[in-house]
Structure 1
Amino acid sequence: MKRMVGRFAEAAYVVLIGGLAVAGAVDERAAFYLAAVALTLPSGAIAFPAMYAGYAAISAIGSIWGSAAAPDGTEAGWLSLGSATLNVALLTCAAIANVALLERLSRLRRPSHR
């Protein structure tokens, strides 16, 4: 029973981070992204600069085929969608990495029954 509760908490944590990242992508507000990054530390420390590097890469590669700006001067839709998708994926992966890291650390701290 205790393990089942732990699995539920792990899944809820990953869903929470994914939800914050999706909210940041839909609402285009940094507060949601920053909350997700803060909640995913220590793995979020890797995801955060990767978000900026990914945006630059998507912009550079995508600009080969089309403009990074719409005619009215705003960001092109393909760039917004691509960077939002990347941000959600990176933050969700950071949450999953934290869960895996926590499981690994808890296994190392448990005494062996050999």
Structure 2
Amino acid sequence: MSANTTPDWSSEFEHYKQLSREVLTKEDIINFFNKNQKAFYLDTFSSSWAKMMEAYEVAESLNSDQLNKLEEMQWQDMPESLKLFAYDFCIKKGFCFTGTYS
């Protein structure tokens, strides 16, 4: 199958997968998060963003008000801890990105 006949989501997925291979440091993760919001929503089949938010809520012992405030924030303004958690959950361990890390 040539690159021209693959569906758009597939090529986007490959694009983000390649980008994620260059992520090595905490700063890289934050930069990836800030610049690649769409990468966190590619996995529509398993609702990884929603599941990540549920897991983050538990991990950080957040109440519903705190969680709502987070969800209303601008993407770039979200806390570093959420960016790191989301990257690990959605990208590093995410369904679509399985196999990105060896």
Larger fraction in helix: 1
TM-score range, shorter chain: 0.3 to 0.5
Q: Name which one, 1 or 2, has greater alpha-carbon Rg.
A: 1
Question: Given the two structures, how large is their TM-score scaled by the length of structure 2?
Answer: 0.40
